Amino acid sequence: MQGKTAIITGGGSGFGRETAIKLAQRGANISVVDISNEQGEETVKLCKELGTDAIFVEADVSKVEDVKRYVSQTVEHFGKIDLFFNNAGISGSGVRTLDCSEEEFDAIVAVNLKGAFYGLKYVVNEMLKTGGGSIVNTASLGGIVGMPTLGPYSATKHGIVGLTKTIAGEYGRDNIRINAIAPGTNETPMVKAFPAEAIKAMGEAVPMGRLGQPHEVGNVVAFLLSDEASYIHGAVISIDGGSAAL
Ligand SMILES: NC(=O)c1ccc[n+]([C@@H]2O[C@H](COP(=O)([O-])OP(=O)(O)OC[C@H]3O[C@@H](n4cnc5c(N)ncnc54)[C@H](O)[C@@H]3O)[C@@H](O)[C@H]2O)c1
Low-confidence ranges of the chain (pLDDT < 70): none
In a domain, 243, yes or no: no
User: What number of CA atoms fall less than 13 Å from residue 70's CA on the CB side?
Assistant: 33
In a domain, 15, yes or no: yes
Range(s) of the domain holding residue 26: 5-238
Phi, psi of 53 (to 5 degrees): -90, 140
Ligand 1 atom nearest 39 alpha carbon: 39
In a domain, 43, yes or no: yes
Domain containing 186 — which CATH number? 3.40.50.720
In a domain, 27, yes or no: yes
Note the pLDDT of residue 55: 98
In a domain, 222, yes or no: yes
User: Of 21, 35, 41, 111, which is best to mutate to test ligand 1, by the most ligand atoms within 8 angstroms of its C-beta?
Assistant: 35
Note the pLDDT of residue 193: 75
Ligand 1 centre distance from Cα of residue 156 (Å): 13
Note the pLDDT of residue 9: 98
Ligand 1 atom nearest 89 alpha carbon: 41
Gyration radius of the chain's alpha carbons: 17
Closest residue by CA, ligand 1 atom 8: 140
In a domain, 244, yes or no: no
Q: Answer whether 0.85 is exceeded by the pTM.
A: yes
Note the pLDDT of residue 189: 78
Which residues, judged by CB distance below 6 Å to any ligand atom, belong to the binding site of ligand 1?
A: 9-10, 12-16, 34-36, 39, 59-62, 87-90, 111, 138, 140, 183, 185-186, 188-190
Ligand 1 atom nearest 62 alpha carbon: 31
In a domain, 50, yes or no: yes
User: What domain count does the chain have?
Assistant: 1
Question: Which among 118, 227, 233, 119 has a CA at the least distance from the CA of 170?
Answer: 233
User: Of 138, 141, 145, which is best to mutate to test ligand 1, by the most ligand atoms within 8 angstroms of its C-beta?
Assistant: 138
Note the pLDDT of residue 104: 97
Ligand 1 atom nearest 189 alpha carbon: 20
Whether residue 231 lies in the annotated active site: no
In a domain, 173, yes or no: yes
